[in-house]
Amino acid sequence: MGGKYRITGDTYPRMRPPRRRGRLVAAVVASVAALGVAGWGTLQLIDVFTGGDGSVSGHAADCRTKVAKAAPVKALPKPGTITVNVYNATTRSGLAKQTADELKKRGFKIGDVGNADKQFDKKVKGTGMLIGPTTALDTTLPVLSTQLTDAERRTDAARKGAVLDLVIGDRFKSLTQRPAADSAVTKLTAPEQVAAVTTTKKKTC
């Protein structure tokens, strides 16, 4: 060749374009690898929170509201169906009537009111004694005991009828505070209401 394209010596011009295809391929491969890693990480997170079976477990389970219903409980007799005799076994006067009046305000029926007989007079050292027939052990006695929680409970197999006795003892000061007593009565006589109100809800997220 002549002119300006004349080749001399062992050097000649390179006329092919620069290698850009290799860089493009490398960029595509890197992108695909990044997407693959991201997808794998997402699957791992799903397995952690679902336990691998699609269900929510572990900490994720705590994010759901959990409801625990109380087991059915047999309702006990209401105060209005229970008749109570109130006897004073102490040397303090007026306790029997005062206590009977308060029990009446709380819904109990009142029978006899007066001093305790010789069997108990000045012999009850605690706050009081609750006495009823054998059938009252798991029915009416627990309801009456809500009004004087630390009183002794006794049953008498020979006792006739369903009437209960409340014998006031030396350490008696007053009946259980009414709000606490009313709450305890509700738990015994209307357990379904308590279950509805105290349904446990847990949500930690």
Q: What is the domain partition of the chain in residue ranges?
A: 79-189
Alpha carbons 165 and 15: distance in angstroms, whole number: 120
* Residue-level pLDDT, tens digit, the chain, 205 residues: 455 555 555 555 555 555 555 565 556 556 655 555 555 555 555 555 555 554 544 544 454 545 445 556 789 999 999 999 999 999 999 999 999 999 999 999 999 999 999 999 999 999 999 999 999 999 999 999 999 999 999 999 999 999 999 999 999 999 999 999 999 999 999 988 766 655 555 545 4
Distances in Å between the Cα of 152 and the Cα atoms of 19, 142, 143, 145, 177 are: 101, 11, 13, 9, 18
Please identify which residue in the block is written with the tokens 């008749």.
Answer: 83
DSSP 81-96: G-EEEEEE-SSSTTHH
Q: What is the CATH number of domain 79-189?
A: 3.30.70
Alpha carbons 107 and 129: distance in angstroms, whole number: 20
Q: Which residues pair with 168 in a beta bridge?
A: 88, 128
Q: How many other C-beta atoms are found inside a 10 Å radius of the C-beta of residue 25?
A: 10
